[in-house]
A and B are shown apart, each in its own frame.
Chain A
């Protein structure tokens, strides 16, 4: 039990984020916890594919060398790390992290907690037989319609198993598909001994988690409001939540680092990927984001309080990935004069050739990068003296051969289409398999008894 604020630093907002950010969080000032979010919806299916080739793979590999770098400081200062880097193979991830700890010289001084039980891949048929249809939350179709194409299926877990791992003394907690927000509010629930029906406190923790989960997006990165005034993004300080027992907290960052924490940066992040703000559903609580109270507290510090919450639903969300055909995107660049007219003409010629070849696609999308690719019709007609434009054509469909043939129809346009064209040096476009996302709900009583928390000594 602690009475000083608990400092939970965000170190990673997705797999592929700034690799130096977590090191800056550890070295830049005092923190108690470091949370690292590595998972997006698609990430799980990529990891599932990696594990099918190699039983020891299927987790965020960047996490291991990172831990090796920061282990000595974490062990010395008692900084605990909570991460969903485990992906579809938290056990192997924890083993690799323990080895990294031995290499870093912290043997006998730390252990790794592992949360597992979120992976439903091997239970799908059993669940189906028991009447769990796993209907798509957007289309209402039962999972049976794509069962043979399913690549991964993981339940979003909340904070409870992470808290068990922290109670068990883990310096590092590795999970699979935990919710992003739980990585931040589990340390709060643990430190303050919150009851699991303290809805307002838990909801406040969820807000803290939502602010932390995208890294620098809360501390000046990707901030639209006066973006040119935000200092030193080259060495941006990721957000730090300073949490109190009553659930209220401040958002801040290390003073020596770049970026900014202001009402504007925090509001932008609160609204990011927001649905109905009054009903932000997590496994542990439903948070009401319309009750959030913000107050600027001096330089790079925003206080958050007043958050209300209510009991969660009887369901947990399942993230299912399934194979859904193929796609490819080809590009060419057309130069002044009449760049847009040339690109449009090339697009017409390409479409006609695809038709003559009898190729059928579910979807063909033509965009003009430099003119309408981001704002569509809102961009209006291109200016007559547009200096250049990139023609970008995408196709999608179930037939890999048709997509493959499309990729061979781009380069010929260079010699057989409109003039002043370049930008084809990258070669043929690549055919990509589409792994699509299937969100579903499952009765939590089916999942929760299967959850386990194990420990690996370093």
Chain B
């Protein structure tokens, strides 16, 4: 097994509903979705965002889109116009969640290495 950031397996988009942020996490490859569904539990997301959100986390599965939707309650300092946060509308909770480190089989880690980042440029850069 290897430990990799969720960033290499999934992309994401986040937004707001009042004082709740939502993060949709989408597997790049449908075949990796079951792994994400197993590893990225609501409990792990609570732990991941400790100190950043105040309320509970709800998780919904969208097997049809190979995606999970998380509601992070109490994430936005009151939300919308009330919040003092730079990210008052929860726009970048998406990549914050993709920082999560998850355990995957070695062959998966090998296959997805570098996914989610701008490919390195310049002499000697990998394609």
A and B bind: yes
Is the pair A273, B77 in contact by a Cβ cutoff of 8 Å?
no
Residues 416-458 of chain A, each 1 if its beta carbon lies under 8 Å from chain B, else 0: 0000000000000000001111010000000000000000000
Whether A435 touches B69, Cβ cut-off 8 Å, given contacts A222-B13, A289-B62, A375-B92, is no
Is the pair A271, B82 in contact by a Cβ cutoff of 8 Å?
no
By secondary structure, the A interface counts as mixed
Residues of B within 8 A of A396 (CB): 82, 84
Is the pair A437, B24 in contact by a Cβ cutoff of 8 Å?
no
Interface residues of A in 365-414 (CB under 8 A from B): 365, 367, 369, 373-378, 392, 394-396
Is the pair A377, B82 in contact by a Cβ cutoff of 8 Å?
no
For residue A273, give the distance in angstroms from its CB to the closest CB of chain B. 4
By secondary structure, the B interface counts as mixed
Whether A436 touches B80, Cβ cut-off 8 Å, given contacts A224-B94, A378-B96, is yes
Tell whether A292 is near chain B: CB-to-CB under 8 Å.
yes
Report, as a range, how many residues of chain B touch the other chain. 35 or more
Query: Which of these binds chain A: B35-43, B45-53, B105-113?
Result: B45-53
Is the pair B24, A275 in contact by a Cβ cutoff of 8 Å?
no
Partner of B22, one of A267, A273, A327, A439: A273
Is the pair B62, A277 in contact by a Cβ cutoff of 8 Å?
yes
Q: How far is B118's CA from A297's CA once the two chains are assembled, in angstroms?
A: 27
Q: How far is B91's CA from A373's CA once the two chains are assembled, in angstroms?
A: 12
Whether A439 touches B18, Cβ cut-off 8 Å, given contacts A290-B63, A374-B86, is yes
Residues of A within 8 A of B78 (CB): 363, 436
Is the pair B85, A273 in contact by a Cβ cutoff of 8 Å?
no
For residue B54, give the distance in angstroms from its CB to the closest CB of chain A. 12
Q: How far is B78's CA from A46's CA once the two chains are assembled, in angstroms?
A: 19
Residue of B nearest to A376 (CB): B52
Partner of B50, one of A264, A275, A377: A377
Q: How far is B78's CA from A332's CA once the two chains are assembled, in angstroms?
A: 24
Interface residues of A in 136-180 (CB under 8 A from B): 138
Q: A268-B12, A278-B60, A436-B81 are in contact. List 9 more A-B contacts (CB 8 A).
A: A225-B11, A268-B26, A272-B24, A275-B17, A369-B86, A376-B51, A377-B50, A395-B84, A436-B82
